[in-house]
A and B are shown apart, each in its own frame.
Chain A
């Protein structure tokens, strides 16, 4: 069936059933965008503190489909999500896109190297920590060339730790539910 598909690239990169893969990517991106927009309504004392709920979709994409699919989900979520929230092309968007792509890459690399040493929980934690560290470094060297900004690191690490745990636990539960439902 799948050799009829124009999506031979996906087919080639990540195995069979391209239509199903495409549908899953679209679904996970949609969920990610919805969570991204919903989260922007949660009040936080500082604008850059976030739980990162949208990351659930990218963690699941990584576990179910693999690296390329996860990157697709992350990029789609950041671009479309920022269009909804109204931050497209703003510093917040630049930070979210760069940190999102880097942390996704780190998660994929760690997953590939460590085999099954980490579950979705550990990978999500690695992703959230990478995300804040990359963001802070970009802010430090691109936007605010002032070392005092690094003082935010403890606060950011704490949010990333809590957020990563929440996202990871939800992902683990969701993945086992999806497995039971044989999706």
Chain B
């Protein structure tokens, strides 16, 4: 195929590198969160800064949920629930991210600036 030009080849390489690069620069694209809100049955039960290290234990609908905040990250470190989806979600730190434990009806939300307020809850 003679119709493919030098420009095409350069462009393909550049776009490919940008695509690969964007996977590594992923965390730069979203802003770090600043607030942690823990909700139980859609009611907020804890509100705190992401920078303050602490451990919070929530009595969920199924059992205990232990949430740990450490060094600007938050994770559910232990939960009494069958699937442990929330524990496997791991450490999160970006604005807008959530950790959800369905059996316990516990939602851990990370919020950024004020205008990123929660607008609605689904499910």
Contact (Cβ within 8 A) A148 B97: yes
Closest chain B CB from A121 CB (angstroms): 5
Partner of A148, one of B3, B4, B18, B96: B96
A151 to B26, CA, bound (A): 6
Partner of A153, one of B11, B29, B96: B29
Contact (Cβ within 8 A) B5 A122: yes
Given A118-B8, A122-B8, A147-B31, verify A172-B19 contact (CB < 8 Å).
Answer: no
Is A175 positioned at the interface, with any CB of B under 8 Å from its CB?
yes
CB within 8 Å: A-B pair count = 81
Q: Residue on B with the closest CB to A120?
A: B3
Given A158-B19, A161-B19, verify A176-B3 contact (CB < 8 Å).
Answer: yes
CB neighbours (8 Å) of B3 from chain A are: 119-121, 172, 175-176
CB neighbours (8 Å) of A145 from chain B are: 115-116
Given A129-B15, A148-B95, A150-B29, verify A119-B23 contact (CB < 8 Å).
Answer: no
CB neighbours (8 Å) of A129 from chain B are: 15
Contact (Cβ within 8 A) B94 A151: yes
Is B12 positioned at the interface, with any CB of A under 8 Å from its CB?
yes
Contact (Cβ within 8 A) A161 B5: no
CB neighbours (8 Å) of A175 from chain B are: 3
Given A118-B11, A129-B15, A157-B18, verify A149-B96 contact (CB < 8 Å).
Answer: yes
A146 to B12, CA, bound (A): 31
Contact (Cβ within 8 A) A125 B5: no
CB neighbours (8 Å) of A154 from chain B are: 19, 22-23, 26
Partner of B7, one of A118, A146, A168, A176: A118
CB neighbours (8 Å) of B116 from chain A are: 145-147
Report B's interface with A, CB cutoff 8 A: 1, 3-8, 11-12, 15-16, 18-19, 22-23, 26, 29-31, 94-97, 112, 115-116
Question: A119-B8, A168-B8 provided; 4 other pairs, C-beta below 8 A?
Answer: A122-B11, A122-B12, A147-B29, A148-B97
